Structure 1
C-alpha cells in the first residue's frame, strides 16, 4: 500500500526490500550514530512519496535498543540511489516511527 504523495504512510512490517535498504546504509548509519551494531534488523517502516521515496525505518540493533533511519531513494530514472538523511538513536520497540 502506497501513501498519498507527500503524506507519511501507515507503519507496516519490514519487507526483504526494506532490509536490503538497511544493509546498504548500515555503515553510514554506524558512522552517524558513532557506534558499530552487531545486530541490524529492520522491523517496520513507513514511507513518504515525494520526488522519490523517503523511508522511515525502525531497526533493531541489539538488546532492547532500536534506531530509526530516514533513507531517501531517488526515482528510477535518477538511478534509484539511496541516501541516509538521518538517524535517531536510543529508541524502543514501542516508539512509533514519525517524520524527522
Structure 2
C-alpha cells in the first residue's frame, strides 16, 4: 500500500513540475544553454549517436560532440532535445530519452543543422 501511495505522489509531483516548467504536461521547455550535466549525457550515449548516422557518412567528421543548447520534455522520464556542435559551423540535433529507471537511449538524430536552427520536437 505504501508503495502505491508513493508512486501516486511521485506522479502528481511530476505532473505539477511539468505544468509549472513547461506550461502543460508533456510540453517542451524553453531552449536552455547546455550544462556540464547535459554534456555528460551526450558523452554517455556518444556511440549511440554515432550509430544513428546514415551509412556512408564520414563518422570522424562528427568528433567531438559538444552540447550547445537543449530543450527537455518530462514524460515517464525525460526526453532531451539537444543541439550538438560537431565541427566548425556544423550541428546536429539528438533526441535522448532518460527513463526514471533503466538505461538512457538515443531515439533519433537530425543532421545538417545550423546554429540558427531552432530545436523542435522530432
**TM-score greater than 0.5 by the shorter chain:** yes
Q: Which has the higher contact order (CA 8 A, sep 6+)?
A: 1
Q: Which structure has the highest strand share of the two?
A: 1
| Count, aligned residues | 97
Unaligned runs of 5+ in 2: 1-19
Unaligned runs of 5+ in 1: none
Q: Residues 21-60 of structure 1: matches in 2 within 5 Å?
A: 21-34=41-54, 35-36=59-60, 37-60=62-85
TM-score normalised over the length of structure 2: 0.74
Paired residue for 1:62? Answer: 87
Q: Which structure has the highest helix share of the two?
A: 2
SS of the counterpart of 1:33? coil
- RMSD over aligned Cα atoms: 1.4
**In 2, distance between residues paired with 1:24 and 1:59?**
14
**In 2, distance between residues paired with 1:23 and 1:38?**
11
**In 1, distance between residues paired with 2:91 and 2:82?**
10
Residue 29 of structure 2 corresponds to residue 9 of structure 1: yes
Query: Alpha-carbon deviation of 1:39?
Result: 2.0
With 21-30 and 90-99 compared, the bigger mean Cα shift is at: 21-30
**In 2, distance between residues paired with 1:54 and 1:70?**
7
Instruction: Map Cα deviations across residues 19-77 of structure 1 (whole Å, 9 max, x no partner).
Output: 001001111111111423222100000000001000000000001110000000001xx
Residue 94 of structure 2 corresponds to residue 82 of structure 1: no
TM-score normalised over the length of structure 1: 0.90
